[in-house]
Amino acid sequence: MSFKARWFRLFTLTSTFLVWAFIAAGVGTVLVRGVPLLPLAFRLPELVFAVKLSLLTSSLSTLLCLLTALPVAYALARQSVPGQGFIVSVLRLPLTLPPVVSGVCLLLLFGTTPLGRALADLGLKLVFSVPGIIVAQYFVNLPGLITVLQAAIEGVDVRMEYVARTLGCSPFQAFCRVTLPLIRNQILAGLILTWGKTLGEFGAVLMLAGATRFRTEILPIAIFLNMSTGDMEALMVSATILILIAFITLGAFERLGIKMY
Amino acid sequence: MKVKLTLEGIAKKLGDFSLKEIFLEVKPGEYFVILGPSGAGKTVLLEILAGIYPPDQGKIWLGERDITHWPPEKRRFGFVYQDHALFPHLTVEGNIGFGLRDSRLNPLQRKQKIRETADLLGIAHLLSRQPHTLSGGESQRVALARALITRPPVLLLDEPLSSLDPPNSGDYSRSSKGCTSSSAASLSM
Ligand SMILES: Nc1ncnc2c1ncn2[C@@H]1O[C@H](COP(=O)(O)OP(=O)(O)OP(=O)(O)O)[C@@H](O)[C@H]1O
Ligand SMILES: [Mg+2]
């Protein structure tokens, strides 16, 4: 290997190691202190509450994301949507919008408009409430799932759906019997990714649902509340739980990522 | 069903490509071959016949019936794409039996029918295979079996001889002839 090639190799490897060390040091600092405290999560009522509420709201918002992202992704991938460019830009907006701004948008929409009042009259109060957590997590993470599913559907040759139709399937049946099974792994990967991200959603939840102990206290909110009151143990445990979930999510995602069709 | 298939001034624009005023008539039991250079629109024309795209102009008749606006699932014309478009998540058996799902056959009769069709095309030994393990000619015969098993009134074959060597292709037209004796027309290119 020439001197230049060796130098370049050394440079890229050193960069990689330094970046790795930076991330590992940050995450490790919390894990080292948090993991021994983990049993507390089952004993402190506040943490038990936060873990349960986090799991409940994330699972529901992920399910909602899937149910709405599938038809939208199909339309974007397979049909010519009128004004496609503009529609897609708006649909993707929450992806680049700071979550706290998404939260402000939702707060104003549900807190100050007739729509919000109508929903509240129907018994669906979204401001400073648990349903508000779900809506905030949903709003921020929906575009990501749409993008993943759209790419997945575009990757399936549309002519297989056509063949299915000449064999008697309606467009919906062709989608269910051909395209859906072919993108099964991408759907699973998208779900895990979305679930992991909804668990960590903070800014939008804080704005719309607020930070009330034992009411809208999901894990990220618990970190925020315990930070402001200086309760370091509870904070460390909450952070550790979220880090461990992130590890599991990443592992599952990569395992699925390899086994694509 | 012994009826003829008629195209009356079919025209279609797809992006920059346009197909202009096609008239043709295929009589019952007849093979009709469409030849043209690459990009001439042979595949698009077959897709219009199958009902996948509506034509911009013109009418399609099956006997006395105007089927121009029938969707593919109502026409049920057999279709074999030039790249065969087998379903990768199903076995060969699953592919061939795909069109039988909503038929009144019980699972045993369905299996029987899949086997008969596969036997006819000399692919019975491949039934448990995955599509990606097949050779070009084998996968084409699987696609043909999948199209034939529902006894379609019209069989549309895109580049039917492309993946077959000469001795094979004799077999092939014999078997498709045998299978479609009850069909109205076979369009093949
Ligand atoms: N959905 C579509 N949108 C835009 N253009 C299309 C579409 N489908 C086909 N075309 C174009 O129409 C033309 C005809 O395509 P077609 O596949 O029918 O050609 P072909 O005659 O089958 O060619 P080959 O012998 O190479 O298979 C091509 O130029 C193709 O790029
Ligand atoms: Mg073609």
pLDDT tens string A98-113: 999 999 999 999 999 9
Among protein residues, the one with the nearest Cα to ligand 1's atom 9 is B44
Hey, of B46, B98, B159, which one would you mutate to test binding to chain A, going by the most A CBs within 10 A of its CB? B98
Residue A188 domain flag: yes
pLDDT surpasses 90 at A226: yes
pLDDT surpasses 70 at B165: no
CA within 13 Å, CB half, B37: 0
pLDDT surpasses 50 at B175: no
Name the average pLDDT for chain B: 84
Residue A10 pLDDT level (bands cut at 50, 70, 90): very high
Residue A24 domain flag: no
State the smallest CA–CA distance between residue B133 and chain A in angstroms.
14
**Quick check: B89 and A261 CB within 8 A?**
yes
pLDDT tens string A172-186: 999 999 999 999 989
Q: Which of B52, B71, B99 sits opposite A167 (nearest CB)?
A: B99
Token couple for B57: 């102009």
Are the beta carbons of A59 and A104 closer than 8 angstroms?
Answer: no
Would you mind telling me the total number of residues written for chain A in this entry? Answer: 261
The Cα–Cα gap between A237 and A243 comes to 10
pLDDT surpasses 60 at A65: yes
Separation of B40 CA from ligand 2 center, angstroms? 8
Token couple for B114: 């899949």
**Quick check: A166 and B78 CB within 8 A?**
yes
pLDDT tens string B27-55: 888 888 888 888 888 899 999 999 999 99
Residue A1 domain flag: no
What average pLDDT does this structure show over A9-20?
A: 96
What ipTM did this prediction achieve? 0.86
Residues from chain A that touch B71, judged by Cβ atoms under 8 A, are 165, 170
If one residue of B10, B43, B82, B83 were mutated to test the ligand 1 pocket, choosing by the most ligand atoms within 8 A of its CB, it would be B43
The Cα–Cα gap between B88 and A221 comes to 46
Max Cα-Cα span within chain A? 75
* Backbone φ, ψ for residue A148 (5° rounding): -60, -45
What pLDDT score does A229 carry? 93
Residue A237 domain flag: yes
pLDDT surpasses 90 at A82: no
Would you mind telling me the total number of residues written for chain B in this entry? Answer: 189
Flag whether residue B88 sits within 8 Å of chain A, measured between CB atoms.
Answer: yes
Ranking A27-41, A101-115, A191-205, B152-166 by mean pLDDT, the lowest is B152-166
Token couple for A155: 């990757």
Nearest partner of A133 among A43, A253, A222, A249, judged by Cα = A222
Residue A137 domain flag: yes
- By CB neighbour count within 10 A (0-12 exposed, 13-18 middle, 19+ buried), where does A125 fall? middle
pLDDT surpasses 50 at B174: no
**Quick check: B71 and A178 CB within 8 A?**
no
The Cα–Cα gap between A202 and A199 comes to 9
Separation of B168 CA from ligand 1 center, angstroms? 28
What pLDDT score does A216 carry? 95
What average pLDDT does this structure show over B98-113?
A: 88
What pLDDT score does B160 carry? 75
Percent of chain B with pLDDT over 70: 84
Residue A41 pLDDT level (bands cut at 50, 70, 90): confident
Residue B163 pLDDT level (bands cut at 50, 70, 90): low
Number of structural domains in chain A: 1
Ligand nearest to the CA of A159: 1
Residue B77 pLDDT level (bands cut at 50, 70, 90): very high
What average pLDDT does this structure show over A59-64?
A: 98
Residue A246 domain flag: yes
Q: CB atoms < 10 A from the CB of B42, how many? A: 18
Q: How is residue A179 annotated by DSSP?
A: I
What average pLDDT does this structure show over A139-147?
A: 96
Nearest partner of B136 among B71, B82, B61, judged by Cα = B82
The Cα–Cα gap between A64 and A32 comes to 36
Owning domain of residue A180: 39-255
Q: Beta-strand (E) ranges in B39-168?
A: 57-62, 65-66, 78-80, 154-157
For A260, name the nearest residue in chain B, comparing CA atoms only.
Answer: B89
pLDDT tens string B112-147: 999 999 999 999 999 999 999 999 999 999 999 999
pLDDT tens string A42-61: 889 999 999 999 999 999 99
What average pLDDT does this structure show over B56-73?
A: 93
**Quick check: A162 and B147 CB within 8 A?**
no
The Cα–Cα gap between A104 and A98 comes to 10
Q: Do the strands B57-62 and B30-33 form a parallel or antiparallel pair, or are they unpaired?
A: unpaired
Unique residue bearing structure tokens 């995450």:
A27
Ranking A9-13, A191-195, A205-209 by mean pLDDT, the lowest is A191-195
Q: Do the strands B78-80 and B65-66 form a parallel or antiparallel pair, or are they unpaired?
A: unpaired
Are the beta carbons of A183 and A153 closer than 8 angstroms?
Answer: yes
Separation of B54 CA from ligand 1 center, angstroms? 15
A158-166 helix and B42-50 helix, angle to the nearest 10 degrees: 40
The CATH number covering residue A168 comes to 1.10.3720.10
What average pLDDT does this structure show over B160-181?
A: 49
Residue A199 domain flag: yes
Residues from chain B that touch A78, judged by Cβ atoms under 8 A, are none
For A159, name the nearest residue in chain B, comparing CA atoms only.
Answer: B85
The Cα–Cα gap between B38 and B27 comes to 27
Residue A101 domain flag: yes
pLDDT surpasses 80 at B172: no
**Quick check: A167 and B50 CB within 8 A?**
no
